[in-house]
């Protein structure tokens, strides 16, 4: 594995109950970069994140992180590797019974033996970085969607991870909050010297903050490139996705018999019941 790569994925395959989800994924994630993974719902993006984090073991292929093959590690080795990872889940996934402060402090208390005074300083630093030091005593049910996502981001970077993964970080956010979260992802990645992998549907925000984009369809990488290449791509799949076109390689209609044929069948069934 090249020294400038943090994550390398080779011919990754994964099945759910015999149904193929990932069908031979190859990706190279350089250190210090923000990389987006895009594609339609159900194409395997979140499954890919789970394979990188060791939550799922692939059917075939390899996931290398820091040069080590994750899917060949023992459980204790996977847990140790995860201490060098941060994860921002969909909708934040804050602990509802813990305050903002305690949510961010949780990974520090769970994975370190740092004294409480130092933990307090670190938590306040992370909350300051996302602009929410003044919300430290609030409970999650007092936060807006954008604020909750920013607290979750502070928690994800609490341990200064080398790899940060984001699962749909923009879902459900208003345009202002979406822009704030996008810029925070970019700034925190650069400030920490981290590497970020972001699963998202938000193409326009991603084109502003990421260094590289992979498009997945039907469990395979169907296109990839830097933001400028993606903007001007003539690839039919990329054009459909970037410009939100209804017609293209991703069909609007599920496969079905001709409409007139279905209407005739329905009419025949109705007549049979008269």
**How many CB atoms sit inside 10 A of residue 105's CB?**
23
The pLDDT tens digits for 235-270 are 777 777 776 666 666 655 566 778 777 776 655 666
Report the pLDDT averaged over residues 72-82: 88
**C-alpha–C-alpha distance, residues 183 and 108, integer Å:** 25
- Find tokens 């970077």 and name the residue: 157
Most confident segment among 79-93, 110-124, 169-183, 192-206: 110-124
Q: Residue 260 is encoded by which pair of tokens? A: 């007139």
Q: Are strands 195-199 and 85-88 parallel, antiparallel or unpaired?
A: unpaired
Question: Which structural domains are found in the chain, ordered by start?
Answer: 1-82+211-274 (3.40.50.300)
Angle between helices 116-129 and 100-111 (to 10 degrees): 130
Position 244 scores a pLDDT of 65
Average pLDDT over residues 36-53: 85
Q: Report whether pLDDT(105) > 60.
A: yes
pLDDT at 136: 93
Give the best-scoring range by mean pLDDT among 89-93, 186-190, 219-223, 268-272. 186-190
Q: SS3 of 24, please?
A: strand
> Percent of the chain, pLDDT > 70?
89
Report, as an integer, the average pLDDT of 178-199.
Answer: 90
Check pLDDT > 80 for residue 43.
Answer: no
On the question of pLDDT at 90 being above 80, the answer is: no
Q: What is the CA radius of gyration of the chain?
A: 22
CB hemisphere CA count around 14 (13 angstroms): 29
pLDDT at 1: 47
Place of tokens 């208003």: 174
Which pair of structure tokens corresponds to residue 32? 């210090």
Rounded distance between C-alpha atoms, residue 15 and residue 261, angstroms: 35
Q: What is the mean pLDDT of the chain?
A: 85
């Amino acid at each position: 594995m090249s020294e400038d790569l943090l994550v390398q994925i080779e011919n990754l395959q994964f099945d759910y109950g015999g149904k193929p989800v990932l069908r031979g994924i190859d990706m190279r994630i350089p250190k210090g970069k923000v990389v987006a993974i895009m594609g339609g719902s159900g194409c395997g993006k979140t499954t890919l994140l789970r394979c990188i984090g060791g939550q799922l073991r692939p059917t075939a292929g390899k996931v290398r992180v820091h040069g080590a093959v994750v899917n060949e590690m023992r459980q204790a080795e996977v847990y140790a590797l995860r201490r060098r990872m941060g994860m921002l889940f969909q909708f934040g996934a804050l602990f509802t019974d813990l305050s903002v402060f305690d949510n961010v402090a949780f990974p520090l208390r769970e994975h370190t033996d740092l004294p409480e005074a130092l933990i307090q300083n670190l938590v306040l630093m992370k909350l300051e970085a996302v602009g929410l030091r003044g919300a430290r005593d609030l409970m999650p049910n007092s936060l807006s969607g954008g604020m909750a996502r920013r607290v979750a981001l502070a928690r994800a970077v609490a341990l200064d991870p080398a790899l940060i993964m984001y699962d749909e970080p923009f879902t459900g956010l208003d345009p202002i909050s979406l822009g704030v979260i996008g810029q925070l992802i970019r700034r925190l990645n650069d400030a920490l010297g981290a590497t970020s992998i972001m699963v998202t549907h938000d193409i326009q925000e991603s084109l502003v903050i990421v260094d590289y984009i992979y498009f997945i369809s039907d469990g395979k990488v169907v296109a990839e490139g830097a933001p400028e290449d993606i903007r001007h791509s003539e690839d039919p799949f990329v054009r459909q996705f970037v410009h939100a076109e209804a017609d293209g390689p991703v069909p609007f209609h599920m496969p079905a018999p001709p409409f007139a044929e279905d209407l005739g069948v329905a009419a025949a069934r109705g007549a049979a019941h008269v």
